[in-house]
Amino acid sequence: MSIRSFKTLVRVVWADTDAAGVVHFSNFFRFFERAEEEFYRSLGFSFTDFRNRGLWFPRVDAFCQYKKPARFNDLLEMELTVEELKEKSMKLGFKVTNKETADFLASGYMVVVAADRQMGRAAKIPAEIVEKLKPFAKQIL
């Protein structure tokens, strides 16, 4: 069974750019998170559901490597993969491509951990969420 990835599009708006005429590097992390949100939505749940269970998903690591700039009006294809799925955390991988030119722009990852909002401790990712994530996971640890 091949591993699935999730794709979504992001249109670069003017407010994403900086005085170099390109998307500010910090906004790639916002695009990563936006792709993550759309991924959860595509699986039928959202950060709001997590909150209702007393869970949230803080980031513990975030990394991006920039190859080419994105500019105003560019249509970006975000590809998300689940690099590692663990009991209490996961590593999400991202690739950013210019949809129109097919230029590869950036890649990166975020490690997110399930956490109990009351206690602040790491918590298990709920079983039915794990089931939905498995088809996307390169490694299940």
Which residues are annotated as catalytic? 18
CA distance linking residue 44 with residue 123, whole number of Å: 21
CA distance linking residue 2 with residue 83, whole number of Å: 14
Alpha helices, DSSP H only, in 1-141?
Answer: 25-43, 47-52, 127-133
User: Given the DSSP bridges, would you call strands 55-56 and 104-113 parallel, antiparallel or unpaired?
Assistant: unpaired
> Does 101 participate in binding a copy of itself (rule CB under 8 A)?
no
Binder of a copy of itself out of 3, 4, 25, 44 (CB under 8 A) = 25
State the nearest-atom distance from the C-beta of 58 to a copy of itself, in Å: 7
Residues 55-94: x/- map of binding to a copy of itself (CB under 8 A)?
Answer: -x-xxxxxxxxx--x-xxx---------------------
CA distance linking residue 16 with residue 75, whole number of Å: 13
Q: Which is nearer to a copy of itself, 26 or 101 (CB)?
A: 26
Residues that bind a copy of itself (CB under 8 A): 13-15, 17-22, 24-27, 29-30, 33-34, 37, 41, 46-48, 56, 58-66, 69, 71-73
